[in-house]
A and B are shown apart, each in its own frame.
Chain A
Amino acid sequence: MSKSQSIANLITIALGIFVAYHSYHVLKLGILIIPGAGFLPFLCGLALVVLGIIWRLQPLLFKSPSTAAPAAVRTEAVGEGEPAPLAVSRAKLALAFAATVIYAALFERIGFFLATLLFMLGWQVIVERQRWLKAVIITVLCTVAMYSLFRLLLHVELPSNPFLS
């Protein structure tokens, strides 16, 4: 079991324990003929613990087709042994993630138009390392297109710049 799988497994079991505990004490299980609010979450918590344990023990106990035969049928992207250039793209992902979070934070504060502008520009320049001129053109085109589509055409309510109104 790889390290990330192992951590995920432990998180699953921990989550299961927490949920079961919370359901039992806070939400109350009720009795079988009148289940309470905690009934289903408790079962889910238990299930997570049990399944988590099975998951951990599976490669050791069962030589079932899915663990024995390598993923010859699979055509999706690579699994455990990932190729080297990941360090570079991890940074890309981190930047993209940061951009998205910042967008969410700014969305209501500076309004849709400005936030989208900054997001696209930031993405092109920092995440994709685009040239400035090209980045600005792409940004403006996309932002205007989205504004027209959502605000003008579809009348979707989006926050406007509080400093302008």
Chain B
Amino acid sequence: MPAPHARPQAEDAQLVERLYRDETGDAMRALYRLYGGELYGFTLNAVGDRGSAEEIVQEVFLRAWRHSASYDPGRAAVRTWLYQIARNAIIDTRRRAAVRPGLSQHDTPAEAEGGATLEQAMLGWQVAAALERLTPEHRQMIRMAQFRGLTMREIADHTGLPLGTVKSRTWYALRSLRLVLEEMGVTPS
């Protein structure tokens, strides 16, 4: 069974350590390409418009660059650290918008959808990122069973795979997901 693509946290921590001194921009590019997508998704979901989301993500990576010396790998994974910066940047943006009446009426989708908190959203995006690291076969099993509500038998019918394969693949998929989440510092309660 192929191993999930878990990324050692130490590599990310080294990237952050290089960030400020690196004049080539390579460390920042690498960090952005690793986390830019999910942070953009998280931010866009929270603020609701692309322009503001892009501005916030830009601010997140600039803050990470400016404050990279204060990053402590013993306290949080790089992903967690970046999400915290993004969360703070989103809150700053909302506060600024709230003092300007013209923009305060703009409800964000996350708030509009029954009060999902930023923390829950952060968790959701990290789990979505973990799913991305699984093999397509594993991801497919989890999506079909969890998100589409299909039974093992229905998945077997749908995919043409033997029922035994569907069951064992789902089991390995969940084990892989658990491993990736542990790597990311996210653990089920």
Interaction A to B: no
| Chain B interface residues toward A at CB < 8 A | none
